[in-house]
Amino acid sequence: MELQIEKRDIAVKPHALRKKGLLPAVVYGRSEESTPIVVERKAFEKLFHMAGESTVITLQGLGENKDALIQEVTVDPVTGVSIHADFYAIEKGQTVTVAIPFEFIGESPAVKDLGGILVKVMHELEITCQPKDLPHSFKVDISKLAELTDQIKVKDLAIPAAAQISIDVDEVIAMIDVAKEEPVEEVAADISAIEISEDRGKKEEEGEAGTAPPTPAAKEKKE
């Protein structure tokens, strides 16, 4: 993958460059002096969508072509448009350490047929190797998860032979979990409320404040 760049005049404000559809950027490396550059924003975003941060690209326009990785991209939080980028220039013969993302593909029979839940334990793997050996991503085929006890581990990946990793190959990448039913708690009846209700009914039968209801004779006299 190739990208055309130009040296940037630092006297020109970044805002003015962005209004012209250009992206301010910088390229640097282990033995590369930091150089401000500019690139067409749309061309950069198209390339970044394909390459990500794990694919070596070739920068053209500063004399000798430079192999580089996209190190960091700053994005406008409102518009989502790229506003700045960093490129890391790679020396010939230099190894690089890059986090390679996982690409989960396929469909798990354990999820589809057995009601299991797919758990993605890891989302990337950091490897050290020559730039030419860097994969764009690691494909993780979850169709291998057929039983509820199945797991996919680091050792199941197609890692380049010359690459080095810093974690145990038995580390789990993806697995199946089983949904657990939460126990239903029994709510104890409020006995005190029942007793209060019974007392209230009793008082209503006997009359308020404990007085007996008027006799028929007294009622007639009152009338």
Q: Does residue 15 form part of some domain?
A: yes
Q: What is the pLDDT of residue 219?
A: 47
Q: For the segment 51-96, what is each residue's pLDDT rounded down to a tens digit?
A: 888 889 999 998 889 999 999 999 999 999 999 999 999 988 889 9
Q: Does residue 221 form part of some domain?
A: no
Q: Which candidate, 106, 129, 126, places its Cα nearest to that of 118?
A: 106
Q: Does residue 219 form part of some domain?
A: no
Identify whether residues 39 and 85 lie together within a single domain: yes
Rounded Cα–Cα distance for residues 177 and 118 (Å) = 6
Confidence of residue 32 (pLDDT cuts 50, 70, 90): confident
Q: What is the pLDDT of residue 63?
A: 85
Identify whether residues 119 and 144 lie together within a single domain: yes
Strands 138-141 and 96-105: parallel
Q: What is the pLDDT of residue 221?
A: 45
> In this predicted model, which residue has the larger pLDDT, 87 or 187?
87
Least confident of 2-11, 39-48, 170-179, 185-194: 185-194
Confidence of residue 181 (pLDDT cuts 50, 70, 90): low
Identify whether residues 72 and 102 lie together within a single domain: no
CA distances from 182 to 74, 157, 179, 185 (A): 44, 36, 9, 9
Q: What is the CATH number of the domain that holds 124?
A: 2.170.120.20
Q: What is the pLDDT of residue 173?
A: 97
Mean pLDDT of the chain: 85
Identify whether residues 128 and 192 lie together within a single domain: yes
Kindly state the percentage of the chain with pLDDT values over 90.
64
DSSP structural state of residue 146: -
Identify whether residues 76 and 157 lie together within a single domain: no
Q: Does residue 68 form part of some domain?
A: yes
Residue 106 has pLDDT above 50, yes or no: yes
Q: What is the CATH number of the domain that holds 34?
A: 2.40.240.10
Two tokens at 47? 């390339």
- Assess contact for 25 and 5: CB atoms under 8 A: yes
Q: Does residue 163 form part of some domain?
A: yes
Identify whether residues 101 and 203 lie together within a single domain: yes
Q: What is the pLDDT of residue 223?
A: 45
Please give the model's pTM, rounded to 2 decimal places.
0.68
Residue 47 has pLDDT above 60, yes or no: yes
Identify whether residues 38 and 130 lie together within a single domain: no
Which positions ≥6 away from 5 have C-beta within 8 Å? 25, 27, 37, 38, 39, 59, 60, 61, 62
Identify whether residues 86 and 102 lie together within a single domain: no
Q: For the segment 192-209, what is each residue's pLDDT rounded down to a tens digit?
A: 555 555 555 555 555 554
Q: What is the mean pLDDT of residues 125-132?
A: 92
Identify whether residues 203 and 101 lie together within a single domain: yes
How many domains does the chain divide into?
Answer: 2
Q: Does residue 101 form part of some domain?
A: yes
Rounded Cα–Cα distance for residues 61 and 38 (Å) = 10
| Domain C-terminal end among 35, 59, 92 | 92
DSSP structural state of residue 210: G
Identify whether residues 14 and 79 lie together within a single domain: yes
Identify whether residues 103 and 199 lie together within a single domain: yes
Q: Does residue 215 form part of some domain?
A: no
Domain containing residue 32: 2-92
Which positions ≥6 away from 73 have C-beta within 8 Å? 48, 82, 84, 85, 86
